[in-house]
Structures are given as C-alpha cells and as structure tokens.
A = this chain, B = another copy of it.
C-alpha cells in the first residue's frame, strides 16, 4: 500500500519504456527471430524446448507484438469496425458490448463508428476506414443498399438488423414481432391503429410495417402510418401531435426511443396512457421498463445478435463456410407492460 504523499519512485510492472521487439526475445532465447515468430504464432510448429525458452524470454522482457508491423506483413489489422447510427440508443450500446465481448475472445478489437443517423456520413466513414479494419459490422444501416454494394466486394461485411442481398446478416423476425403487437392490440379491442415509422432505408422498419399491415388487414381493421420520423426521442415528441390528430386508439412506434418521446408528449397533453391511447415500442431497451406507465415492447435478442454477427464476420475473414449459411433470423417476443390496455373506442 502506498501512502498518499508518495510520488511513486517504484514502477509496479515490468513494462519497459523502450520497445522490446522480436529480436530482443530471440537474442535472450538464443534462437532466430523467425523461430520466435513461429513459437508465438503457431506453437505446434517448433520443438517444445525452443517453445519454452521463447515464451520464457518473451515473458521476462514483457514482449508485446507490434500490431502495426503484424498488420503490414499479414494485411490483417485484427480490428473490426462496428458502425451504428446512434450509440446513445441503448439498443446499439448493448449490441456493442456483445460485439466487444465476442471480438476480444477472438483477439480482435472494436472500432466503434457512430454515423449520427446520417446516410452520407455512414458511406463516407465506411469508405475512409475500410483499410483500418479487417471487416465491418454494419448495424441498422441508414444508407440505401446501392451505396454499400461497392464495399461488399472490397471488404468483409456482415449486416445487423438489415437483410441485404448476398450479404451475411443477422436479423430479428420483425414481421412476426409486429404481428404479435397487432394481435395484442386487436384482442384489446382496438380497430384504428397508427404506426410511427423509422428511417426509410431501414429494413427493420419495412418488416415491421409489413407485419403490421398484414395482421391489421386480416382483421379488417385500420392502420395509418406516419413515415420517416427521426428515430429519436424528439422525433417521437414531434409525431405525438400528428397521431393525436387522428382517431387512432393505439400507436406503435418504430422503436422504444420514439415511443418514449410519444409518451412524454401524450402525458404533457394530458392524454392518459393506456386509458385514452395505447402505446407500443420495439427493442425493449432497459429504460422502457422504468417509465410510467412501463412500456409494452417487442424484445429482440441483443446479446445473441452481437455475438453471432462477430462469428459470421470471423468466418468470412478466415474463409470458413457456415453449415447453415451465414444468415440468421432470431425470434422476437412481445412483452406486455402497462402502456397497453383495452380500447375505449372513442377518444
């Protein structure tokens, strides 16, 4: 234990100030640099005795390989780029954690790229960073597919929450989630539903709308949709008044963040949720459970999405083929909380 006034003359670790290279290790171990490289990269390729000495020497000197040199010779940076529209949306920060966890297991680091919900920025950043990463995880891309196509040839890409053509992807069964929502609301007696949509380029958005339409049409009910709202809290507050101008008794938001914005504005205008209007979101972000009333939402498998996407990408990089192919669609499930209730039919 060091005392408060201690200015620290002693260094705690053996970390050298000068950089120790593979040559230093080689010299200490009494072998060639080539053998050190082999002993460290593929231990099975050298004799146990040599391997031992190399590892001991490396440990003694506190050797850490220079990633830049490694990248230069192999062409691999051991970094993956995770591109998200907005890291402050809990859905994306949760996915980041899952991605980072899995990536680290495979010896990879994660370069996080926040595009600020802007398609142009997205394309731009992907282009300029393409050389710094071994591959991209494109999460909920906001750019139209044709802008991304060129990169698919040059760079390894896996999409998350987006079903592209001929791209490995991991998605959720949004259409089914939407169906669950619609049936829940219809069962509560609602006949006039509204959907506050997200970004046009989002395939999640399209699937959710599709699922909603199908179920609503089958029941002979009515669905109004408000298109292209910014998938943010402010987007939600702004949309609230538009929704209230219709006679809808239940509103489904593209995601929970929008839903919370709607909730806020409804409350501000004295519209009771769910007494006067029912509200549903998508994603089941943690905060959705802690509002008043707590938000009914469609949960998606965030952890598994992140981990599987990394697996797909590493397979791609290592030239492995997946038995089932690199496309996965995970089930979704509706979590009913306090923001949905029986329709009063008039508002």
Q: Which residues of A contact B (CB under 8 A)?
A: 2, 7-8, 11-13, 15, 17, 64-69, 71-72, 77, 79, 87-88, 90, 93-94, 96-97, 100, 109-114, 116, 127-132, 146-147, 149-151, 153-154, 165, 233, 260-261, 263-264, 267, 286-287, 289-292
Q: Give the complex CA separation of A88 and B287 in angstroms.
A: 11
Q: Looking at the assembled complex, report how far the CB atom of A303 sits from the nearest CB atom of chain B, in whole angstroms.
A: 12
Partner of A11, one of B93, B114, B150, B264: B150
Partner of A68, one of B68, B93, B289: B68
B109 to A110, Cβ gap below 8 A?
A: no
What is the copy number of this chain in the assembly? 2
Main secondary structure of the interface of A (DSSP, over half): helix
Q: Give the complex CA separation of A147 and B10 in angstroms.
A: 11
Q: Give the complex CA separation of A118 and B269 in angstroms.
A: 43
Q: Looking at the assembled complex, report how far the CB atom of A95 sits from the nearest CB atom of chain B, in whole angstroms.
A: 10
A12 to B131, Cβ gap below 8 A?
A: no
Q: Give the complex CA separation of A147 and B64 in angstroms.
A: 19
Q: Give the complex CA separation of A151 and B109 in angstroms.
A: 19
Q: Give the complex CA separation of A267 and B68 in angstroms.
A: 54
* Contact sample, A vs B, 17 pairs, CB 8 Å cutoff: A8-B146, A11-B150, A11-B153, A12-B147, A66-B72, A67-B77, A68-B72, A87-B96, A88-B93, A88-B97, A100-B113, A109-B132, A110-B112, A111-B111, A260-B287, A291-B291, A292-B292
A263 to B290, Cβ gap below 8 A?
A: yes
A88 to B77, Cβ gap below 8 A?
A: no
Q: Give the complex CA separation of A65 and B68 in angstroms.
A: 14
B88 to A94, Cβ gap below 8 A?
A: yes
A64 to B149, Cβ gap below 8 A?
A: no
Residues of B within 8 A of A290 (CB): 233, 260-261, 263-264, 291
B131 to A66, Cβ gap below 8 A?
A: yes
B263 to A150, Cβ gap below 8 A?
A: no
* A-B contacts besides A8-B149, A64-B128, A100-B112, 4 pairs, CB < 8 Å: A15-B150, A15-B151, A90-B90, A109-B132
Residues of B within 8 A of A17 (CB): 153-154
Give the nearest-CB partner of A88 in chain B: B93
B66 to A150, Cβ gap below 8 A?
A: no
Residues of B within 8 A of A66 (CB): 72, 131
